[in-house]
């Protein structure tokens, strides 16, 4: 990704203490971050902290001596691909709603033409005040993307609405505003994680799949504009406003959930590792150990992808995964044919399961594209690039 410039406006609320972490996350994602702090924000955390995490000078003054000659607010407004205000106080919200430009941050915002995001954080009384609600509505009408606030325990001691949205939620919305919306017309159903098949109320049969690849695909599709339906076995599944997320445990539950939602999907990606077998019966009470050991009788589970392939509707793209220890290409191509798939993502078990990185080959009926070993979020974006190419040309070749 070419480096994008995020101008991060920080205003004076206690939630400022969370923002250095956001700057550091954005830098790790490859964004350049220029911080503007209001005077009140500097009372909570010093500019030095933000200088160090952003590795850029921090802007606090409208009339500071420039290092190079420029008009600070115009230069920052032109440079910004996105301006985010985190946290946004009731005061900045009121100023922006009326177009006041009495400091560097408000003047920059008024001059900027890029997308703008605000993450409000304040006491519930202030947030629910009709003046604040009126101002937020005005900002939404003016095109600002408003993220949060969440409800819960507030640092002032109250319970209620007004907590800064999670950094995950703010980060994905920043990424979304900076991403090409090439999945805007797609509804993508993704499954993730290994299923658990109960033996008794305590024990289960499972596998090593963590769900990370499926979750990375869900996040990538979401930021590229897709309507995302995620069905995951993992408690770590991402949960963003606007993403539909369903938790399941067994292959049977996953099958029921997938089949009830599949007709809405234009693309289905089955990244999950459903167990192929389940215990023939589930003991009601905990099975007591005996010195004689124990035999476990297993029966075969339904193959969800096979059923999806049989009932594929016209225009729906069906993508499977194949985790193999041997003969990757042959096994992946067999599954592509047998399950009536458009694409299959093949990987070796040792390269994929439970790891942060993945090395995959994407097969269509006529092509095989090797992707370089990379962190799963990058692999997810590259897989989606191939899916969009396949959607446009019906092939993966150049």
Active site positions, annotated: 156
> Of the ranges 14-22, 28-36, 123-131, 298-306, which one interacts with ligand CTP (CB under 6 A)?
298-306
- In this chain, which of 41, 122, 248, 323 binds ligand CTP, going by CB under 6 A? 323
Pairwise CA distance, residues 21 & 286, whole Å? 45
Q: Indicate whether 270 belongs to the interface with ligand CTP (CB under 6 A).
A: yes
**Nearer to ligand CTP (CB atom), residue 6 or residue 343:** 343
Torsion of Cα atoms, 294 then 297 then 303 then 307, to 10°: -150
**Nearer to ligand CTP (CB atom), residue 45 or residue 360:** 360
Cβ-in-10-Å burial (0-12, 13-18, 19+) of 13 comes to buried
Closest by alpha carbon to 7, among 69, 72, 90? 72
**Nearer to ligand CTP (CB atom), residue 238 or residue 274:** 274
Q: Indicate whether 127 belongs to the interface with ligand CTP (CB under 6 A).
A: no
Q: Indicate whether 194 belongs to the interface with ligand CTP (CB under 6 A).
A: no
Which of positions 35-64 make contact with ligand CTP (CB under 6 A)?
A: none
Query: At its nearest, how many Å lie between ligand CTP and the CB of residue 265?
Result: 14
Q: Indicate whether 343 belongs to the interface with ligand CTP (CB under 6 A).
A: no
Beta bridge partners of 205: 197
Quickly list DSSP for 352-389.
HTT-SEE-EEEE-SS-EEEPPPEEHHHHHHHHHHHHHH
Cβ-in-10-Å burial (0-12, 13-18, 19+) of 297 comes to exposed
Query: At its nearest, how many Å lie between ligand CTP and the CB of residue 360?
Result: 12
Query: At its nearest, how many Å lie between ligand CTP and the CB of residue 314?
Result: 21
Pairwise CA distance, residues 313 & 249, whole Å? 27
Q: Indicate whether 335 belongs to the interface with ligand CTP (CB under 6 A).
A: yes
Closest by alpha carbon to 192, among 140, 151, 235? 235
Q: Indicate whether 150 belongs to the interface with ligand CTP (CB under 6 A).
A: no
Q: Indicate whether 233 belongs to the interface with ligand CTP (CB under 6 A).
A: no
**What SS3 state is found at 262?**
helix
**Nearer to ligand CTP (CB atom), residue 13 or residue 274:** 274
Contact 118, 93 (CB under 8 A): yes
Q: Indicate whether 256 belongs to the interface with ligand CTP (CB under 6 A).
A: no
Task: Tell me which residues touch ligand CTP (CB under 6 A).
Answer: 251, 270, 272, 274, 276, 301, 303-305, 320-323, 335
């Amino acid at each position: 990704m070419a480096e994008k410039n995020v101008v991060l406006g920080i205003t004076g609320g206690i939630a400022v203490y969370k923002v250095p972490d956001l700057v550091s996350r954005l830098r790790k994602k490859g964004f350049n971050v220029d911080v503007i702090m209001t005077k009140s924000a500097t009372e909570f955390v010093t500019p030095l902290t933000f200088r160090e995490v952003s590795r850029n000078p921090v802007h606090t003054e409208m009339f500071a001596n420039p290092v190079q000659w420029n008009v600070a607010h115009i230069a920052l407004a032109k440079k910004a691909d996105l301006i985010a205000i985190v946290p946004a106080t009731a005061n900045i919200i009121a100023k922006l709603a009326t177009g006041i430009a009495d400091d560097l941050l408000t003047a920059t915002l008024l001059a900027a033409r890029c997308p703008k995001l605000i993450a409000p954080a304040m006491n519930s009384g202030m947030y629910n005040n009709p003046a604040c609600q009126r101002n937020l509505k005005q900002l939404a009408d003016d095109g600002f993307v408003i993220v949060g606030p969440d409800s819960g325990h507030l640092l002032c001691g109250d319970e209620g609405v007004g907590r800064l949205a999670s950094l995950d939620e703010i980060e994905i919305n920043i990424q979304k505003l900076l991403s090409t919306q090439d999945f805007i017309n797609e509804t993508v159903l993704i499954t993730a994680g290994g299923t658990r098949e109960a033996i008794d109320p305590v024990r289960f049969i499972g596998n090593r799949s963590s769900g990370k690849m499926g979750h990375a695909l869900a996040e990538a599709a979401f930021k590229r504009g897709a309507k995302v339906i995620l069905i995951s076995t993992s408690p770590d599944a991402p949960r963003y406003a606007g993403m539909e997320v369903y938790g399941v445990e067994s292959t049977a539950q996953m099958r029921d959930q997938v089949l009830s939602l599949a007709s809405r999907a234009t693309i289905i990606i089955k990244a999950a590792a459903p167990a192929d077998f389940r215990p023939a019966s589930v003991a009601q009470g905990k099975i007591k150990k005996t010195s004689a050991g124990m035999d476990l009788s297993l029966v075969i589970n339904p193959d969800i992808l096979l059923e999806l392939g049989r009932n594929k509707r016209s225009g729906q793209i069906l993508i499977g995964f194949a985790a193999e220890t041997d003969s990757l290409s042959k096994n992946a191509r067999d599954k592509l044919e047998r399950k009536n798939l458009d694409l299959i993502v093949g990987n070796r078990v040792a390269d994929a399961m439970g790891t942060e990185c993945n090395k995959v080959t994407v097969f269509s009926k006529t092509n095989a594209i090797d992707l370089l070993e990379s962190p799963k979020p990058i692999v997810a974006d590259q897989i989606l690039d191939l899916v969009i190419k396949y959607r446009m040309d019906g092939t993966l070749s150049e």
